[in-house]
Amino acid sequence: MLQLIPTLETGGAERTTLDVAAAIVAAGGRALVVTVGGRMVEELKASGAEVVLMPVAAKNPLVILANARRLAGLVRDADVDILHARSRAPAWSALIAARLTKAAFVTTYHGAYKQANMLKALYNSSMTRADAIIANSDWTRRLIVARQPDVADRVTVIHRGTDFAGFDRAAIAPDRIAALRAAWGVAPTARLIVNLARVTRWKGQLVLVEAARLLAARGIGDVDLILAGDAQGRDGYVAEVEAAIAAAGLRGRIHLVGHCADPAAAMAAADVAVVASIEPEAFGRAAVEAQALETPVVVTDLGAVGETVIGPEQSPDGFTGWKVAAGDADSMATALAAALALPQATRAELGARARAHVTARFSLRAMTDATLAVYRSLRQPA
């Protein structure tokens, strides 16, 4: 099996690539991953997968065609059964290579690709020309089918899975949390709101800065906000966030800390975890991981995140977190205040419910088993 992912720096699609590669190897298969590279390459190799470096992040049509030729040769040389693309540009190369070699072709929708015009629709169509299309949530499936009803019978929903052994509060040693707090420059006893997300406008960091200002104005100023994520070169946006922090008078209370290599410890360190996206999430892994760690979570009710969190409006006695309108800093501040004010016993009950909820629905094993089942359904008999 050969997966294609533009880069292996950070992110849900990248993590899923590693998880599926490890499952292929564990099942006795050969797992190849074609990518530009990135910080996750060594971890991928350690799982027994093979990495092939290729400029598959490029959108230049000539590069896409050159990649397709190289992929076709790789398919023949390595006797590849299935090409699995996880992004649009490499999907075009994989589609061409699959047609040249008669290999099966699979895609996974990891995002809500914008489709404002015919040209964009054509570019996106590489993802729906596959023999099997995987949607990482029910919301994503509805989006695909609304745009292209004729592919409905080829779309399978496989929710993104999490290794809950790694996201278990009992498995997080106190020194891991202490090390993160020290790296972040926050006191050992400071209450923390943690947002794990790439530093990009649609992830809502500016909304969180305003929500933090509102909390302080309401007398809840003894809380630090951690914005943990890679800016990936968005220096202008980072400067805008820093200016907003200064204008809110919250320097020293809001921390832009960069990439977080230990998300489990980060979620465990949090008094509240928050997903503030102002555009739809195709899944929402951070909300699942926070619930697995029994950390109260506040999310924007947008895209697929609503599939992973049960709000009080759905179940007053069985809720697992709070949902607020996207971009609404006032509602965000109100929900954060409610989560911060939970008595310890109520917080423990909420955490236990949340962990039971996500472990029953979004496990790594369920995801990898379902993905391998899709692969097996496409393999031609010898």
Residue of 208, 228, 237 whose CA lies nearest to 300: 208
Q: What are 6's strand-pairing partners? A: none
Cα dihedral sign for 59, 60, 65, 68? negative
Average pLDDT, the chain: 95
Maximum CA pair distance of the chain? 70
Beta sheet of 2-4, edge-to-edge order = 50-53, 32-35, 2-4, 82-85, 104-109, 132-135, 155-157
Strand, coil or helix: what is 133? Answer: strand
Question: For residue 140, is pLDDT > 90?
Answer: yes
Residue entry with tokens 């797992």:
31
Query: Is residue 185 left, alpha or beta, with left meaning phi > 0 and alpha meaning psi from -120 to 50?
Result: left
Strand, coil or helix: what is 21? Answer: helix
pLDDT tens-digit readout, 26-60: 999 999 999 999 999 999 999 999 999 999 999 99
Strand, coil or helix: what is 111? Answer: coil
Residue of 266, 298, 268, 299 whose CA lies nearest to 281: 299
pLDDT tens-digit readout, 328-365: 999 999 999 999 999 999 999 999 999 999 999 999 99
Between the alpha carbon of residue 22 and those of residues 163, 274, 365, 368, the distances in Å are 12, 30, 11, 9
Exposed/middle/buried for 129, CB within 10 Å: 0-12, 13-18, 19+? middle
pLDDT at 216: 96
φ, ψ (nearest 5 deg) of residue 103: -70, 155
Residue entry with tokens 């899975």:
161
Comparison of pLDDT for 129 and 232, the residue scoring more = 129
Strands 50-53 and 32-35: parallel
Q: Residues 6 or more apart from 372 whose CB is under 8 A from it? A: 23, 24, 27
Exposed/middle/buried for 146, CB within 10 Å: 0-12, 13-18, 19+? exposed
Q: What are 303's strand-pairing partners? A: 281
Domain spans of the chain, in order of start:
2-161+363-378, 169-361
Amino acid at 279: E
pLDDT at 382: 41
pLDDT band at 112 (very low <50, low <70, confident <90, very high): confident
pLDDT band at 214 (very low <50, low <70, confident <90, very high): very high
Residue entry with tokens 């049509």:
61
Q: Do domains 2-161+363-378 and 169-361 have the same CATH topology?
A: yes
Residue of 63, 49, 115, 52 whose CA lies nearest to 92: 63
pLDDT band at 18 (very low <50, low <70, confident <90, very high): very high
Question: For residue 380, is pLDDT > 80?
Answer: no
Q: Residues 6 or more apart from 344 whose CB is under 8 A from it? A: none
For domain 2-161+363-378, the question of CATH label 2.40.110.20 is answered with no
pLDDT band at 230 (very low <50, low <70, confident <90, very high): very high
Mean pLDDT of 231-252: 96
Cα dihedral sign for 14, 18, 19, 23? positive
- What DSSP state is assigned to residue 36? S
pLDDT band at 283 (very low <50, low <70, confident <90, very high): confident
Beta sheet of 272-275, edge-to-edge order = 254-258, 223-228, 191-196, 272-275, 297-300, 322-324
What are the counts of helices (DSSP H) followed by strands (DSSP E) for the chain?
Answer: 15, 13
- Spell out the alpha helix ranges (H) of 102-217: 118-124, 138-147, 174-184, 205-217
pLDDT at 94: 98
Question: For residue 133, is pLDDT > 50?
Answer: yes
Q: Residues 6 or more apart from 175 whose CB is under 8 A from it? A: none
pLDDT tens-digit readout, 85-108: 999 999 999 999 999 999 999 999
Architecture label for domain 169-361: 3-Layer(aba) Sandwich (3.40)
pLDDT tens-digit readout, 156-177: 999 999 999 999 999 999 999 9
Mean pLDDT of 8-18: 91
Which range (155-159, 263-267, 281-285, 342-346) has the least confidence? 281-285
Mean pLDDT of 290-308: 94
